[in-house]
Structure 1
Amino acid sequence: MSAIPAALDGATIPGGCDTCNAEQRIREEQPGIWAIGIAHDDWCPTWQRIQARRQAISDTFRP
């Protein structure tokens, strides 16, 4: 039995960011392994900060 109902696989839920109209997207990556991603608006300052931090990390380190 999964703690997350299978009906949520592929669901889009409004919210997830205080500065834009983001959406949370839920999907089951593998049986029992779930991922929740946040899709920000392109103009979102929070998203722009996240992107800037990612670009500042050296090319030798990519998680």
Structure 2
Amino acid sequence: MSWYDYPPYVPVARRRQQAARKVAALRKKGQNIEPVIVEGRVIAKTFWGKAWCKNLEAYSD
């Protein structure tokens, strides 16, 4: 694959199947798989990060 080619498209249904297989394999190995829970809406802590978020919000409809 050259630097200007895109990887082949993978449909969402296939990605979900692959994820389900991976989760099943990890659970079979004994690992506990849980979803990530995001608490709150703040993603930035620094002044620059907050300014960046504010700038992005200015582009929303």
Give me the TM-score of the superposition, normalised by structure 2. Answer: 0.28
Higher relative contact order (CA 8 A, sep 6+): 1
Larger radius of gyration: 2
Structure number with the higher strand fraction is 1
Give me the TM-score of the superposition, normalised by structure 1. Answer: 0.28
